[in-house]
Amino acid sequence: MTNNDTQQLPRVIIVGAGLGGIALGIFLDRLKIPFHIYERAEKVKPLGSVMGFTASTLMAFEQLGLVDEIRKLSLPTSGMMIYNEKLDFLGDFSTRETEGLTGYPLLLFPRPDLYALLFSQIPAERISLGAKVTSVDQNDSGVTITLQDGTQDQGDILIGADGAYSAVRQGLYKQLESKGLLPDSDKENLHMGHVCMVGTTGPLDPAKYPVLKEETSHFHRVLGPAGTAHSWLTANTRGNRIAWSLAVQLGSSTEDDDTALRNSEWNPKTNESMIQTFRDYPVTVGGTLGELIDATAPDMISRVALEEKLFETWHHGRTFLPSAGQGAQSAIQDALILANCFNDMTDKSTRSIEAALASFHEHRYPIIQYQMQRSDTLAKLMYGQTWKERLLRYVIFNWIPKSVQTSQLQKDMSYRPQANFLPLAETKGSGPVQPQWDSKKKTDEIEQSRVAV
């Protein structure tokens, strides 16, 4: 890379060190695009329960040389099995065909383990903790952020990767609204569908929990008694641990209960109230939820709202807002496609930046739209508690042929995006794959070399 090439590279400021922000940092580091991540938390605490990756994400990690590391963290699974409160089997969402279709099984792992792996890939000098952004200013020459302590930093592009309630989003939307440029739909609140509590136990005794001796993960969802709106999940993971999750569906219980869950402050006291509600429920691994919760360090238990909304405004000027609130796999795909867009930039002018961000929106919006629809349907099937959702689940499990599930799985697994600035990973499996996004820059260089000859 020449000095002139280096001078044309944009400097990227990333606000938020969640999985999406960290993943973008990794891709930018491989692109040799200068970046810095600002995270408001003094210490990043890797919280969470179980997560899963399919070929839709694993092929990009193959390019990064991290798939073997992810395998070390993971156990394969054959899908999610659904039970009632008496632990009677209701049905399953099978992923047994995944490896044959894509070359990769569905891999499950504790979210804290994945976060630690990805965080370790970011050079220490590229991230600042305890750095809360209080204001943003952008013009044709760049974008400037101001931190709580008065420190300022300037870059060419600002990425708001600071979650569903992004401070960067709120600041940008306030500016756009004052100019009459914000669509009415973007002024609406996010939809809160569930309140969840998640955690991963410390190492447990395999003699007490025989499932820990197995080399596959048993991914089990249990639906609570009718009228409770409760469900819970367990999955055995590496390190003799069990990841767990408790969920309360909002809108399917009493209005008073919903209001209490929406408005209660999230602290150890209110967390304890939710724990007591679920404590005596049985789990398929043996024993009760309370025993798993007691085996989890209190500071490793977190409570989250599952909220979603498809915003229409994703960028303006030099500021970009990924599709927040869509889940970890989506956040990582956002980071990948955004890096592809940056790779095709010819310079760091406002015009070039806006073209790159518009290109991102063009590529990702229909995918996110589809993923949200699928997510909504799966949520109803996996832990929906209304009578309509219970009926839908019964029909799916008892009347719909398994071939329909396989066909849907094949469609979902066809989206396997890769970085257009790294050598492509080998396409595996018998299933179809959507065409990869060729680098415009690379195509132009090849064409220029042909003309020169």
H runs (alpha helix) in 384-419: 387-398, 402-413
Residue 121 in this model has a pLDDT that exceeds 60? yes
Cα–Cα distance measured from residue 76 to residue 217, given in angstroms and rounded to the nearest whole number: 6
Phi and psi at residue 198, to the nearest 5°: -130, 155
Instruction: For residue range 334-371, list pLDDT tens digits in order.
Output: 999 999 999 999 899 988 988 998 898 888 888 888 88
Residue 253 in this model has a pLDDT that exceeds 50? no
Place 263 in a pLDDT band, splitting at 50, 70 and 90: very low
Contact 208, 286 (CB under 8 A): yes
Contact 440, 340 (CB under 8 A): no
Cα–Cα distance measured from residue 108 to residue 216, given in angstroms and rounded to the nearest whole number: 9
Mean pLDDT lowest among 144-148, 249-253, 258-262, 339-343: 258-262
Cα-based angle 364, 369, 374 (whole degrees, multiple of 5): 125
DSSP-assigned beta bridge partners for residue 12: 35, 157
Instruction: For residue range 291-317, list pLDDT tens digits in order.
Output: 999 999 988 898 877 655 555 555 566
**Average pLDDT along the chain:** 84
Place 48 in a pLDDT band, splitting at 50, 70 and 90: confident
Contact 27, 336 (CB under 8 A): yes
Residue 418 in this model has a pLDDT that exceeds 90? yes
Residue 397 in this model has a pLDDT that exceeds 90? no
Cα–Cα distance measured from residue 332 to residue 318, given in angstroms and rounded to the nearest whole number: 21
Phi and psi at residue 31, to the nearest 5°: -80, -10
Q: What is the pLDDT of residue 312?
A: 55
Cα–Cα distance measured from residue 143 to residue 317, given in angstroms and rounded to the nearest whole number: 9
- Give, in order, the Cα–Cα distances in Å from 284 to each of 244, 280, 294, 376: 12, 13, 17, 26
CA atoms within 13 A on the CB side of 295: 19
- Averaged pLDDT for residues 382-401: 84
Q: What is the pLDDT of residue 192?
A: 63
Cα–Cα distance measured from residue 52 to residue 76, given in angstroms and rounded to the nearest whole number: 9
- Averaged pLDDT for residues 84-105: 92
Q: Which of 415, 309, 313, 325 is nearest to 367 (CA)?
A: 415
Instruction: For residue range 199-218, list pLDDT tens digits in order.
Output: 999 999 999 999 999 999 99
Q: What is the pLDDT of residue 8?
A: 76
Cα–Cα distance measured from residue 173 to residue 316, given in angstroms and rounded to the nearest whole number: 9
Q: What is the pLDDT of residue 264?
A: 44
Residue 194 in this model has a pLDDT that exceeds 80? no
Q: What is the pLDDT of residue 2?
A: 40
Phi and psi at residue 223, to the nearest 5°: -95, 130
Place 195 in a pLDDT band, splitting at 50, 70 and 90: confident
Phi and psi at residue 394, to the nearest 5°: -60, -45
- Averaged pLDDT for residues 136-158: 91
Q: What is the pLDDT of residue 282?
A: 98
Cα–Cα distance measured from residue 453 to residue 447, given in angstroms and rounded to the nearest whole number: 10
Q: What is the pLDDT of residue 450?
A: 46
Instruction: For residue range 155-178, list pLDDT tens digits in order.
Output: 999 998 877 667 777 777 777 677
Q: Is 208 helix (H, G, I), strand (E, B) or coil?
A: coil
Place 66 in a pLDDT band, splitting at 50, 70 and 90: very high
Element (H, E) at 263: helix 255-263
Phi and psi at residue 128, to the nearest 5°: -125, 125
